[in-house]
Structure 1
Amino acid sequence: MAPPVPADRPGGAHWLRAETGRLLEFAARSRHPVAGFGWQDDAGAIDPDRPVELWITCRMTHVFALAVLDGYREHAPLLDHGMAGVQAMRDARSGGWHSAVGPAGPVPGTKEAYAHAFVVLAGASATLAGHPAGPALLGDALEVTTGRFLGPDGLVVDTWDEGFTTLDAYRGVNANMHAVEAFLAAADATGDRAWLDRALVIVERIVHGFAAGNSWRLPEHYDEQWQPLLEYNRESPADPFRPYGATIGHGLEWSRLALHLHHALAADAPAWLVDDARRLFDAAVTDGWDADGATGLVYTVDWTGTPVVHERMHWVAAEATATAATLFAVTGEDRYARWYADWWAWIEEHLVDREQGSWRHELDRHNRPSSTVWAGKPDAYHAVQAVVLPRRPLAVSVAGALTRTPLDGT
């Protein structure tokens, strides 16, 4: 799957393997002493002012399932810890999972499709890693997801109150994107084709519909009738979860997920999945890369493609390399190999933190460390996936890829 890059250069097989171990070493320090995983600061210490959050605990549980599958058996206890942490966040009274837990117990909040998609992902990846609690967690999470969040139109609703009694009118594509990721992983873990069919319904509506109808700049926010809210959060454009405008990293991520789905559906895959993946990638690169006089991919653009939030997010760069690698695997086109090599070189120069560990999570428009949107280094999900995917053949899910023979022979 990996484009041809010298093994010891950024993005090459040996470099990726070494970077995987380095990222996992930093991530291991996120283990919360009570349950789950905490929010890490720039040096790797857990932020004591933040509760344990469901989305981070599930993403890190997924990461340590990937670690186990990748041969890092020393991190198996962290997978155990993550699985216990997810279980500890169950809401025994109302169902689903609490969004956060503090020293005094559950933190009052909401039930979000976004976080619950990561419960599915954690359960699926743990199942593929052979964890004994994986299948039960996956089954429970899928039941909650289909029962509470999957609407009759096949799209995922966004936010319930704590008791699953009142549904917010907001609809968003971020939760749907991670539902697609979760359904792909569920299909890999269970062998059930139905999860691929559900993923295809979402991708067809959002990518082949909403993105294609808006010059491949995907509207993120909608009302309850799925009418786009193009001016949503114009006054707070740098929101970490609901930013104004088109999010460059999501265009890339949707592109990659469409390719995984195309691979999963095999002979039944519609041809437009690859065509749309190309167009999403091209729009993201055209609008996002080197858009303001400095290298890097900006966070968001408006509906003309003009940058709005200029900060460079580590996760956007991670998704860029992973998508370029996947497009190269599917098409064999040299241009994707060139982007892949260029972006890994940029990541090594600007994001990789050789002093404190992991990657700098955010840079400003001059590629200097920043914290406008994100403070600290809260999780390793995007970065670890980026260093894992190019080392294995294209598969249905990231965890599934790690059950295949490494391309680098290690």
Structure 2
Amino acid sequence: MTEKPGNPDACGHWLEDPAHRAFLVRDAHRALDFFDASPRAAGGFHTLDNAGRPLPSALQELHTTTRLVHSYALAQIAGRDDRAGIVDRGMDYLWHAHRDRRFGGYVWSLDGEGVADGTKLAYGHVFVLLAAASAKLAGHPDADRLLADISEVLDRRFWDDSAGLFRDEFTRDWQPFSTYRGMNANMHGAEALLAAHEATGEGEYLSRARRILDFFIAGQAALHGWRIPEHYDADWRPDHGYCGNPMFRPAGTTPGHSFEMARLHLQCWDQSQRPGAEAPAQARALVETALADAWDCDRGGLAYTLHLDGSVDIGTRFWWPVTEAIGALAALIKLDGQAADEAWYRRMWQFADRCLIDHEAGGWFPEAGAEDRHASGQFTGKPDIYHALQADLFPLVRGLSRPARALADLSPLADPQPG
């Protein structure tokens, strides 16, 4: 029988409802149990099918390695032992396999024969920074060397100080091969910089995160009806006609990213001692616009991409925009929760419970398809734990920033799974 994500009759906020909090802890434990099967004997990690069996591909992409390290480090901080040794294995694989000892930096993908794609992408490199910061917060002995190395690479190769943003891509030997600039790598860059500031206290990380968020929110979203253009040219002007990789660089604007940016904006504002009064209203505008544009009123769930006027382009209902809406709504509720925030928060979890969470095997299906059954269009199996685990853990803590330290104080995963 499907377990319910909270008590529908609970007064106040589900964030304080014991039944909902127990549901979050259960879901996190079951996802971690599922992804414990990820380690590959020869090094690196398997991608898992829906039953938790390894898929046959030997391809190992940088964002997969780093997100597993980050996720299991967070879980370890929250009190759950890393029984599969994923943080240790991932840190070793990042240093000895992904790290390019010839040219520096970190290669995008590996297979059983070595480097499959040596391209140097900001998107992958900022996740190395996130993994290093989370590993440091978890007390991993190799975190400092990884943090120092990736910080130097990002600073020397990717950071455009005149713009206050990360450049996107180079060949393996650091030759520029495009003038593309993107929001996605910078958004995750802000996420990683905030984690690095939490781990080290170094102000430059926080300053750079603030510059990135200011550009895309006050500088772009405010000029585009609180929708954020995804793609830019070499001079950081929006490129509205760009269409690239359908997973990482789809055309138009992506409402799931609006939710992520709203949460990160509030995190950065809080971590910066709440300067000014604009951030809460800006974050709310991003969230409310994305909800109004993307929610599927007939079936539930959120459209993947939109045109710049807010009309739906790709209506596929992936899991990750729902998890990011949960995180953003939880942040708004903690700050100055309104009745609509609570209603939307519950609606997201009810949809996830009905259509996305695998109550038998654990983890989340990546897509809700016809008749709300899971579908396998863009993805095969369950691609990662990262988005869903954060949706479970971040609502459990009281504050808006420094989530790792808050999870360490709370230790919600330390006890056996409830109920």
Instruction: Give the TM bin, normalised by the shorter chain.
Output: over 0.9
Equivalent residue in structure 1 for 2:171, among 150, 161, 170: 161
Q: Which residue of 1 aligns with 2:195?
A: 185
Q: Which residue of 1 aligns with 2:103?
A: 94
Equivalent residue in structure 1 for 2:154, among 122, 128, 145: 145
Q: What TM-score do you get using the length of structure 2 for normalisation?
A: 0.91
Structure 2 counterpart of 1:181, one-letter code: E
Matches within 5 A, 1:98-247: 98-152=107-161, 153-233=163-243, 239-247=246-254
Contact preservation (8 Å) 1:181, 1:397 = no
> Offset at 1:40?
1.9
Contact preservation (8 Å) 2:397, 2:403 = no
Contact preservation (8 Å) 2:77, 2:408 = yes
Question: What is the alpha-carbon distance in structure 1 between the residues aligned to residue 370 and residue 248 of structure 2?
Answer: 20
Contact preservation (8 Å) 1:310, 1:365 = no
Contact preservation (8 Å) 2:68, 2:384 = yes
Q: Does 1:263 align with 2:270?
A: yes
Structure 2 counterpart of 1:33, one-letter code: A
Question: What is the alpha-carbon distance in structure 2 between the residues aligned to residue 365 and residue 141 of structure 1?
Answer: 43
**Structure 1 unaligned blocks of 5 or more:** none
Q: Which residue of 1 aligns with 2:285?
A: 279
Q: Residue by residue, what CA displacement relative to the aligned partner does 1:325-372 show, whole Å, maximum 9, x if unpaired?
A: 011111132321221112111111110112333111012365332233
Query: What is the aligned-residue RMSD (CA, Å)?
Result: 2.0
Question: What is the alpha-carbon distance in structure 1 between the residues aligned to residue 359 and residue 169 of structure 2?
Answer: 39
Equivalent residue in structure 2 for 1:335, among 332, 340, 349: 340
Matches within 5 A, 1:288-327: 288-291=294-297, 293-327=298-332
Q: Residue by residue, what CA displacement relative to the aligned partner does 1:206-248 show, whole Å, maximum 9, x if unpaired?
A: 1111111110111101111112111212xx7x80111111101
Q: Residue by residue, what CA displacement relative to the aligned partner does 1:21-42 show, whole Å, maximum 9, x if unpaired?
A: 0010111111122222232222
Question: What is the alpha-carbon distance in structure 2 between the residues aligned to residue 2 and residue 174 of structure 1?
Answer: 31
SS of alignment partner, residue 259 of structure 1: helix
SS of alignment partner, residue 376 of structure 1: coil
Number of aligned residue pairs: 402
Matches within 5 A, 1:61-100: 61-75=69-83, 77-88=85-96, 89-100=98-109
Equivalent residue in structure 2 for 1:252, among 254, 259, 277: 259
Structure 1 counterpart of 2:133, one-letter code: A
Contact preservation (8 Å) 2:325, 2:348 = yes
Question: What is the alpha-carbon distance in structure 1 between the residues aligned to residue 58 and residue 113 of structure 2?
Answer: 13
> Offset at 1:271?
2.0
SS of alignment partner, residue 390 of structure 1: helix
Q: What TM-score do you get using the length of structure 1 for normalisation?
A: 0.93
Moved over 6 A (4+): 407-410
Structure 1 counterpart of 2:345, one-letter code: Y
Question: What is the alpha-carbon distance in structure 2 between the residues aligned to residue 408 and residue 49 of structure 1?
Answer: 32
Question: What is the alpha-carbon distance in structure 2 between the residues aligned to residue 331 and residue 395 of structure 1?
Answer: 12
Question: What is the alpha-carbon distance in structure 2 between the residues aligned to residue 76 and residue 47 of structure 1?
Answer: 18
